[in-house]
């Protein structure tokens, strides 16, 4: 790993678009996901230290005026399931993000292994953007995800399974 990359263990996955690009206002954007960690956790300290190190390496004369850390936010400022008391780190990629199981074998979308609410290990890399629309900001690339363990699915991640339906195989189609 490069010195701007961090590996976070056992963080909670939120808003994963790992196998297909996210869609925002009917426009395909990037592959992305957010991970959640408690505010008083080792992971929170790791992310903050990595961002501070990245800023020091990138800006020898100090951070530019108006610099925003848009990739790392206080979960209490969001009204999403599971964000209370958490910090949220969002990363994205133009390429599909590799997803692995516990044994490091590849996971596909059809495996239904990763979902909003499960716990993962994840690798991020920080970068700087200066753009007229977005301003000066620190963003994160999401480089890879490894499934760690199941967690309670967030409310928007619930889908029906076969047991929710009646067996209609004996019904006539008339």
Mean pLDDT by 10 residues, the chain (174 residues): 85 96 89 97 96 94 93 95 96 97 96 95 96 90 97 71 74 59
Length of the chain in residues, anyone? 174
Residue 174 has a pLDDT of: 55
Q: Both tokens of residue 47?
A: 């992310």
Residue 107 has a pLDDT of: 96
pTM attached to this predicted model: 0.86
Give Cβ neighbours of residue 18 (< 8 Å, ≥ 6 apart): 31, 33, 96, 97, 99, 109, 114, 145
Residue 80 has a pLDDT of: 92
Torsion of CA 39, 41, 45, 51, to 10 degrees: -60
Residues 124-133 as b/e (b if ≥16 CB within 10 A, e otherwise) read: bbbeeeeeee
Closest CA to 119 of 156, 155, 82: 82
Residue 161 has a pLDDT of: 66
Q: What count of Cα atoms within 13 Å lies in the side-chain half-sphere of residue 10?
A: 4
Helix (H) or strand (E) holding 43: helix 42-58
Residue 85 has a pLDDT of: 97
Q: Both tokens of residue 59?
A: 């800006």
Longest CA span, the chain: 77
Task: Find out whether 71 and 138 touch, Cβ atoms under 8 Å.
Answer: yes
Residue 168 has a pLDDT of: 75
């Amino acid at each position: 790993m490069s010195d701007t990359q961090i590996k976070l263990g056992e963080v909670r996955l939120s808003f994963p678009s790992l196998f297909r690009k996210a869609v925002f206002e009917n426009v395909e954007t990037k592959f992305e996901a957010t991970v959640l960690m408690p505010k008083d956790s080792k992971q929170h300290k790791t992310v903050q230290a990595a961002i501070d190190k990245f800023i020091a390496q990138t800006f020898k004369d100090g951070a530019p005026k108006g610099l925003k850390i848009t990739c790392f936010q206080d979960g209490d400022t969001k009204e999403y399931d599971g964000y209370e008391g958490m910090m949220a780190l969002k990363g994205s990629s133009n390429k599909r993000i590799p997803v692995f199981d516990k044994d490091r074998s590849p996971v596909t979308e059809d495996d239904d292994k990763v979902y909003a609410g499960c716990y993962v290990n994840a690798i991020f890399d920080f970068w700087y953007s200066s753009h007229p629309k977005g301003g000066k900001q620190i963003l994160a690339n999401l480089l890879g995800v490894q499934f760690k363990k199941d967690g309670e699915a967030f409310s928007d991640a619930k889908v029906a399974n076969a047991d929710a339906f009646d067996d209609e195989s004996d019904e006539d189609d008339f």
